[in-house]
Structure 1
Amino acid sequence: MTATATDIEKAAGVLRAGGLVALPTETVYGLGANAEDPAAVARIFQVKGRPPSHPLIVHIGSAEDLDDWVEEVPATARLLAERFWPGPLTLVLRRGRRVPLEATGGLETVAVRVPGHPVALALLSAFGGGVTAPSANRFGSVSPTTADHVRAELGDAVDFVLDGGPCEVGVESTIVDVTGEMPTILRPGGVTREDVEGVLGRPVTVPSTSGVRVPGQHPSHYAPRARVVLAEPEKVVAEAERAQELGHQVGVLLPPSFAGAAVKAHAVVALPGSMAAYAHALYGLLRELDERGCDLIVASLPVEEGLGLAIGNRLRRAAGPRSSA
């Protein structure tokens, strides 16, 4: 079911009343609150179990609104916004007075984007303000790419769920820090590094670690219930079969080059050949392997260019060390 005009007006009313709305974007579903309401923003952290020091992204209705939310807009930021908004690009800029510190994790910078989904844009227009919206899931787990994913994970903790169908991109937005002289990609995502460099006409760094706190940097993130193990592509089958022999219920994300190979595992998923199709399917596949009873997932990193950079980032986080708590 796709959200109707009545649904959108109802969702806008929920936001005005300080409630939480799950909304579709082209990347993943977000858990939205009025960006100018500290109490509503605090509810996001409570529902997700998210540390309050982790900043949120403020979603706005158009690039023309950017000046209302940040202290200044450098020429580089204007250029990127003009090219990629609406779309899966987030810009880190100096916080404007409209943005409460609760939304920025106490930082004087704020992450802002214009989502590229018609339902999200209609909601922002009807609401008439900014909406903070991290992914609509428990902190650290797999991001939702359908409304059913949100309902299954958060249930009644969300006041209203807007159903906009499956998310087109399937991985989160690219986050670019434009507060300094050199733009830096702090999180790879739906806009590729190559696309950003093409617009700017110069190389852009992608540091493995950064002093700037942004969403998605926790060592374990985007993680299914099953433990994720990464192997070289040519070793995925052997690693999976070894783990299965040791008693694990193994799920395998099988690289396209091994399509049709017989694998002794609990569940085998053949990955699509294109990076766009892989990104679109990734979180759904991780959820599927959880639902099929896997306790271990074996995967390999794709070539980290284009969208492969974002997919590799998500797989590394999914395989990251988890709290023993």
Structure 2
Amino acid sequence: MNIVLLGILFTILWASGAVSVKFGLLSSPPLTMGTIRFILAGSLLMLYIYGFRRGKYPLPQKREWKPLILLGLFNTSLYLGCGFWALQTVSSGFFNLAVVVNPFLVALLSSLFANRSIQQKEWVGMVVAAVGLVIATYPLLEDSHSTLIGILLLMIGMISMAIGSVYFQKAKLQLPSLVINAWQVLFGGMILIIPSLLLESGKRFELDQNLILYLVWSVIGVSIFAMILWFYLLKLDVVKANIWLLLTPIAGYLQASILLGEKITSFDVIATLFVFAGLYLSGNFRLNKRPAPASAENLKV
């Protein structure tokens, strides 16, 4: 199949993750919904890795269990847990836009904990992208389409994702990417069991069409099929694969408009242009630049 068609398909599938959460939230509290999804997705991936492909993938060594649990905490429990909670009040379009600024947070944290100096072009890119997020945030709060708590939760999730990315670089796990993702998502779901019981016990939960649609789509469409596409795109061309990932906000806004009725405003368009400009100026959105392996392999399911 044509590489462009594969890239477009991946972008659509990956952007649909936040949109599908909106359907699941109609029938379940966010943490409960996330717990079910992550444990289900992790279990299916384990079945594939250690069942259907038995002998091809190694089990983690003793020293690798702690990093895998911490990656599950940061990349799944905190990032997606806070993200799901935020999506109760934050638009899915804004969620997809916020995710692509992760390289800037990773750069900031790397400068603090990994002795990595931030280049001048990265500072310029951060400022431009930050202006874009402010532009996108202002009308959401002004029109009460989002709450300040929801946006703060989303930011906590983004920071957790960045911490996970920096920790992934420092941990230097000698495991295939598929194995790392399978264990981190399974551990992330297990970690969420207690918070979901404590915070959401007694809240409305219905295993109806909306929740089943969300689980099927998020597990099979996003966590499994989109991940398979992602790793295939990485093998073909790491640089171009990263570009498709950064284009998810556009697909996200379009899907949110069509499926959820979220309006695409001039603020959204201008904010997206600012974020893309910031990514370009910082060097994260150029065809002649090879992105760091961590950003490519530490994709969340």
State the TM-score, normalized to the length of structure 2.
Answer: 0.29
Rg larger in structure? 1
- Higher RCO structure (Cα 8 Å, ≥6 apart): 2
Q: Is the strand fraction higher in 1 or 2?
A: 1
State the TM-score, normalized to the length of structure 1.
Answer: 0.27
Q: Is the helix fraction higher in 1 or 2?
A: 2
